[in-house]
């Protein structure tokens, strides 16, 4: 079940990435009507093309997940440090990170309903983190596409940019809140394991 969930997460992230990559490619290539007619000739190969695109999307999803994880960690840590006093040596970031990893391994080792709940929160975090990353790039790619390949007016382009930027901000806010919830639930979940053993 967990493997299926991770596969689905990577696929979602990859399919989202394919959207902005295609928009960017179209903005650069600026295909004409004749090019679109040529693509119509590939209709007999739809099943094969779809399978290849899904494989590419899965690979892209793994890359996007890793990039968004690293970027989000950096931004989240900067956000947490903002306005906070300088941490003491006991609160070193590396130590905190190691503690979170240890707590997660404790919960994973139990393999019960609490583990499923914690992993569900983590799954949501991975999806929303990748979605934030992909929405930001989709905003840029969509603007390039609208400017170079359509006759959209300035206000239409502005509205589209505002809408996508708002969705990106909403996704980023959700990612922050889900991460906070994950860390808040992780500590009592690991503590339950200690209580059961004692």
pLDDT in tens, 60-111: 999 999 999 999 888 776 666 665 555 555 555 555 667 777 777 777 777 7
CB 161, CB 139: distance < 8 Å: yes
Asked whether residue 180 is assigned to any structural domain, the reply reads yes
In a domain, 28, yes or no: yes
Length of the chain: 198
Residue 108 falls inside a structural domain: yes
Structural domains in the chain (count):
1
Q: Is 198 domain-assigned?
A: no
pLDDT at 195 over 50: no
Report how far residue 178's alpha carbon sits from residue 166's, in angstroms, rounded to the nearest whole number: 18
Identify the domain containing residue 106 by its residue range: 2-192
Q: Is residue 197 part of a domain?
A: no
pLDDT digits (tens, 9 = 90+) for 112-143: 888 888 889 999 999 999 999 999 999 999 99
**All residues at 6 or more sequence positions from 135 whose CB lies less than 8 Å from its CB, including other chains:** 16, 164, 167, 168, 171
Task: Find out whether 130 and 12 touch, Cβ atoms under 8 Å.
Answer: yes
Model pTM? Answer: 0.81
In a domain, 174, yes or no: yes
């Amino acid at each position: 079940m967990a493997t299926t969930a991770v596969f689905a997460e990577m696929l979602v992230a990859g399919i989202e990435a394919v959207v902005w990559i295609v928009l960017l490619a179209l903005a650069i290539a600026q295909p004409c009507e004749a090019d679109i007619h040529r693509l119509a000739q590939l209709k007999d190969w739809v099943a094969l093309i779809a399978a290849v695109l899904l494989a590419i999307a899965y690979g892209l999803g793994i890359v996007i997940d890793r990039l968004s994880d690293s970027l989000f960690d950096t931004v989240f840590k900067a956000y947490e440090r903002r306005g906070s006093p300088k941490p003491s040596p006991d609160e070193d970031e590396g130590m905190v990170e190691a503690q979170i990893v240890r707590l997660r391994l404790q919960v994973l080792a139990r393999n019960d309903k609490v583990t499923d709940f914690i992993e569900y929160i983590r799954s949501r975090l991975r999806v929303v983190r990748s979605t934030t990353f992909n929405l930001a790039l989709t905003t840029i790619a969509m603007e390039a596409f609208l400017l170079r390949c359509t006759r959209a007016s300035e206000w239409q382009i502005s509205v589209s940019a505002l809408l996508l930027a708002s969705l990106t901000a909403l996704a980023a806010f959700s990612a922050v809140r889900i991460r906070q919830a994950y860390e808040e639930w992780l500590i009592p979940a690991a503590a339950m394991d200690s209580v059961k053993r004692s």
